[in-house]
Structure 1
Amino acid sequence: MIDSRIFKHKLQRLRAGGCPRVLDLFSGCGGLSLGFKAAGFKIAGAVECEADAARSHGINFHGGDERYCKSHDITKTSPSDLTAGLGLGDAAGAFDILVGGPPCQAFARVGRSKLREVAEHPEAFRHDPRSRLYIEYLNYVEACAPLAVVIENVPDMLNHGGHNLAEEIADILTTRGYVARYTLLNAAFYGVPQMRERMILIAIRSEVADDIEFPEPSHWIDLPSGYTGSRAVALKLALAPAGTLSGYRAAPKPDGDLPSAVTAEQAIGDLPEILARELLAAGELRRGARKLDVAIPYTGHNLQSEYVRAMRQWPGYEGTATVWDHVIRYLPRDYRIFAGLKPGDQYPEASRYARQLFEDELRRLAQVGKRPLADSPQWRDLEARFVPPYDDSKFPNKWRKMESSMPARTLLAHLGKDGYSHIHYDSEQARPISVREAARLQSFPDGFRFAGTMNPAFRQIGNAVPPLLAKAVATSVMSQLCGNRQLEGLPLFASSARR
């Protein structure tokens, strides 16, 4: 049991003007870290098992110091080992805030009593390895004695295999002396050009707070029905009869008079064009790993939206006259299909258009006497060069052409292997989005660099918490911990202007 004087000492330090120190668990490249840093927190350490993501975090938050660029398996790295390796002394005194998004898949059938059993008996994970990652997170909470805990995860955490895992975690933290609440926040309401729904849990020591506040929205959008439907499913258990659950709080509602949500074009419209079909025809676009070490000058359309200025001028992560990481996937079969799609079109429309292109090619070959026999090997080879092999009744969402006038749909971690979910809205470019465009849609600034090659970078971006959403959460936590003292680094993209 942690000595209560440790919490008192930390609180006194913050109230005297000390900078809150953050440990980011399951940090990835650092979306949560970046948001907390922008809100005035110090990023004191991170735990991330994937090597490229850990190096990205170390580069962006610790100047590439090798101690911070190392990957760590949380199941093999104790809090004391971590702080010793970073020269931070005793784990109980090293951090004020723990943040992170531990994977939730392991808990599909673990109920509240089981989770409590595992949380209270450290060796229980040996009998139920599915629970291990969450238990390691809770072990860090126990060892590091933070004043506040922030957990981010997918909305399904509220209804995962028939269990409300967020409520279960909140219940455990409550027994450990925290006030814990959770809600669902959509990133588009917080200035992110992406309709990304996330569960956010905030827990603060009961010595500090008697309830939890969630950030007020800064932007407004009427979300598509698919998002509202998914939210209803996720909230089915949280909205059980009154008195059953104590942790859930409804998210603050956006005001229709707020600025409109940032659109895809406002987010990426200034970036240099990549004319995929022209590059392919010129032999300048080839198969192979895409490195992130080429700087491309800004040319052509130079849209200067408020959002673009924020991404280029983010303090400490400013852009330059060139753009990095602006690379795309090699998809020679599909660029011509992308060009023929309309905004909002998905795979059924793509499949029909591809079939039309194939039939057009058959007619052209027939005119010159070279049409292959139906179902011959030559016919099937030609068909494969035009028509994707996926069943359009089973993969309706596999492809989607973005709408320029709306925020993007949710970016996924496997974007590098399947970029069809975010096809650029500009038919002249006829391509999936680039690494830098994905970063912009997640609200990573232009000076934020990603370690590795294209696919690892896409994975890091897709797994990340949007920094602007993280900043909104962090600002709320800072206020609850430290009152309304003047904070540094807060003017970034915090417009409250009305439409």
Structure 2
Amino acid sequence: MSMTIQQKIQRLRDGEAPRVLDLFAGCGGISLGFQAAGFKNVGAVEFDPAAARSHAMNFHRDASDTMKEVHGQARDIVQTEPVDLLREFGLEGDPTEHVDVVVGGPPCQSFARVGRAKLREVAEHPEAYLNDPRGNLYLRYLHYVQELSPVAILMENVPDVLNYGGHNIAEEVCEALRDLGYDARYTMLNAVFYGVPEMRERMFLVAFRKELSCTDWFPDPSHWINLPRGYHGSRQVAMKTIKQDLLDDETRFFVDPPEPEPAGFKPAVTAKQALSDLAPIADDSEQKLKKGPRRFDLLTHYSQSARLNEFQRAMRHWPDFEAGEGVYDHVIRYLPRDYKIFARMKPGDQYPQAFRLASEMFEERLNEIERVEGKRPSEGSARFEKEKKNFIPPYDPGKFPNKWRKMESDQPARTLMAHLGKDSYSHIHYDSRQARTISVREAARLQSFPDGFIFQGPMNPAFRQIGNAVPPLMARALAEKIKEQLTGTVTDVEKNRAKKADTV
């Protein structure tokens, strides 16, 4: 065992907080979960300027103005060496002394271009990490691992990485980590099983230094739901690839995902349970009546009518991220053509149903014109086209069936994606009286960000940060499991999860 690894393990066993570096950090969903589990955030690497500022504002708000500026800088990981990064953070000397855990999710677009052979070379040829082309971003992740010698690693990505460009990237990364001295495992986990009001399936890879002799990688669920067919289907496709790989004796890194049953687990948190205490946005709201930039400078008080449930209390009173009287980012898109469509949509309706409703309303409008004026506008005329534009969305319902979707109040939300930054039609509010898409804060709630977590706006960058993030409650469950393995102590949350698992 190297002296650095031995010293790190000893300090963790002595009760000192594990120090975590977040790569490809976004606004900090993983960082927040790890902080809640008792980890200390050393810093982050993030390419997007708004997300980098959000991360600094939330995790280094007590730092000096100079250090806030340092932490808030957008950084290109290809151009940033670990030793230089730590020096900027004020951490001098041997870079292997300052970081215990490396976390993050390299963009999946980078995965197809580097194969198993290249990854297997990295232990023998560290220079392979240097001067990487843009396509090899996850080699930079491994470069940071080699340079910083963490005792544990967390990597997250979409399920597609299990069959991306013909590669099972998770298997290949586990092989590379094995050659670097780690025991690694990967699985697929759904955030909804960990108290997040969103059915979000992701691949998670966890690795520990071999010296730790760890035997447990992933947290037991705390919640249960019967996932919709689409989620089962995508999991089965990924599993098929994995099972084929497992025919090879060397590929033993996959861990079966937990499959919770109803008995002994809490029911999944629903959209209504997540959002109902936030103030309604009615038809006379200025947000629905006026176009213009959506700033985060006006306080929206909480709704006083709702009795808080466990999730809502957690979002309002998250330690170090308490919100006070309300929120500042309960802002929505200005979509005047579509409010009337949203109001008529039923829960679960998607774009084909919305298009049909819009067509029905347009026909009603033409009938009204004929009744009042005695004549319908002729098809193709300027009047006809003007009226049509006020009702009919411009997308082919055969080509964009999933573009719109109205949430169900009694179900968790479907997966929030990064394209929330471009439109929010994938998450139309379940309350027909409000007839709108979700607000920035509602998106944050569905991802389990506490109300005191600040996003650098305006609206579109904030939506994008939220859609790209790992849900903090999910990250906290993973962090608690990792901490248990690093310190040899079981958290109260993990004890409760274990009790529930024993009753199933």
Same fold (TM over 0.5): yes
Q: C-alpha deviations, 1:96-138, integer Å up to 9, x for none? A: 0000001121222533113334675455578973542111111
Q: How many residues align?
A: 491
The answer (yes or no) to whether the contact 2:78–2:132 under 8 Å persists in 1 is no
In structure 1, what is the equivalent of residue 488 of structure 2?
A: 483
**How much has 1:237 moved relative to structure 2?**
1.7
- The one of 2, 5, 8 equivalent to 1:7 is 5
> 2:418 matched to 1:413?
yes
- The one of 249, 255, 277 equivalent to 1:249 is 255
Q: What stretches of structure 2 of length at least 5 have no aligned partner?
A: none
In structure 1, what is the equivalent of residue 35 of structure 2?
A: 37
**How much has 1:467 moved relative to structure 2?**
0.2
In structure 2, what is the equivalent of residue 434 of structure 1?
A: 439
**How much has 1:244 moved relative to structure 2?**
5.4
In structure 2, what is the equivalent of residue 272 of structure 1?
A: 279
C-alpha distance in 2 between matches for 1:289 and 1:70:
24
The answer (yes or no) to whether the contact 2:113–2:136 under 8 Å persists in 1 is no
Change (3 A) 1:395 1:449: same
- The one of 367, 371, 376 equivalent to 1:367 is 371
C-alpha distance in 2 between matches for 1:183 and 1:120:
27
The answer (yes or no) to whether the contact 1:269–1:301 under 8 Å persists in 2 is no
Q: TM-score, normalised by structure 1?
A: 0.94
**How much has 1:378 moved relative to structure 2?**
2.0
Select between 11-20 and 232-241 the one with higher mean Cα deviation: 232-241
In structure 2, what is the equivalent of residue 60 of structure 1?
A: 58
The answer (yes or no) to whether the contact 2:288–2:335 under 8 Å persists in 1 is no
The answer (yes or no) to whether the contact 1:273–1:300 under 8 Å persists in 2 is no
The answer (yes or no) to whether the contact 1:185–1:197 under 8 Å persists in 2 is yes
Helix, strand or coil at the partner of 2:441: helix
> 2:77 matched to 1:74?
yes
C-alpha distance in 2 between matches for 1:160 and 1:61:
34
Change (3 A) 1:427 1:227: same
Equivalent residue letter for 2:437 = P
- The one of 162, 165, 170 equivalent to 2:166 is 162
Q: TM-score, normalised by structure 2?
A: 0.93
C-alpha distance in 2 between matches for 1:213 and 1:392:
44
Helix, strand or coil at the partner of 2:198: coil
In structure 1, what is the equivalent of residue 300 of structure 2?
A: 296
In structure 2, what is the equivalent of residue 398 of structure 1?
A: 403
Structure 1 residues 89-100: aligned runs within 5 Å: 89=92, 90-100=94-104
Structure 1 residues 206-225: aligned runs within 5 Å: 206-225=210-229
Helix, strand or coil at the partner of 1:421: coil
Select between 437-446 and 410-419 the one with higher mean Cα deviation: 410-419
Change (3 A) 1:393 1:127: farther
C-alpha distance in 1 between matches for 2:483 and 2:347:
40
C-alpha distance in 1 between matches for 2:83 and 2:404:
46
C-alpha distance in 1 between matches for 2:293 and 2:75:
26
Q: What stretches of structure 1 of length at least 5 have no aligned partner?
A: none
> 2:90 matched to 1:83?
no
C-alpha distance in 2 between matches for 1:56 and 1:115:
33
**How much has 1:213 moved relative to structure 2?**
2.3
Structure 1 residues 7-406: aligned runs within 5 Å: 7-63=5-61, 65-89=68-92, 90-117=94-121, 120-121=124-125, 124=128, 129=133, 131-240=135-244, 241-242=246-247, 243=249, 245-257=251-263, 258-275=265-282, 277-279=283-285, 285-369=289-373, 371-406=376-411
Change (3 A) 1:126 1:140: closer
Change (3 A) 1:442 1:494: farther
Equivalent residue letter for 2:79 = K
Q: Give the percent of matched residue pairs that are identical in Structure 1 and Structure 2.
A: 56
- Supply the RMSD in Å over aligned alpha carbons: 2.2
In structure 2, what is the equivalent of residue 461 of structure 1?
A: 466
Helix, strand or coil at the partner of 2:240: coil
C-alpha distance in 1 between matches for 2:427 and 2:275:
13
C-alpha distance in 1 between matches for 2:130 and 2:315:
45
**How much has 1:252 moved relative to structure 2?**
2.3
Q: C-alpha deviations, 1:124-167, integer Å up to 9, x for none? A: 57897354211111110011110001001101111112210011
C-alpha distance in 2 between matches for 1:494 and 1:58:
32
Equivalent residue letter for 2:141 = Y
C-alpha distance in 2 between matches for 1:234 and 1:109:
20
In structure 2, what is the equivalent of residue 423 of structure 1?
A: 428
Equivalent residue letter for 2:87 = A
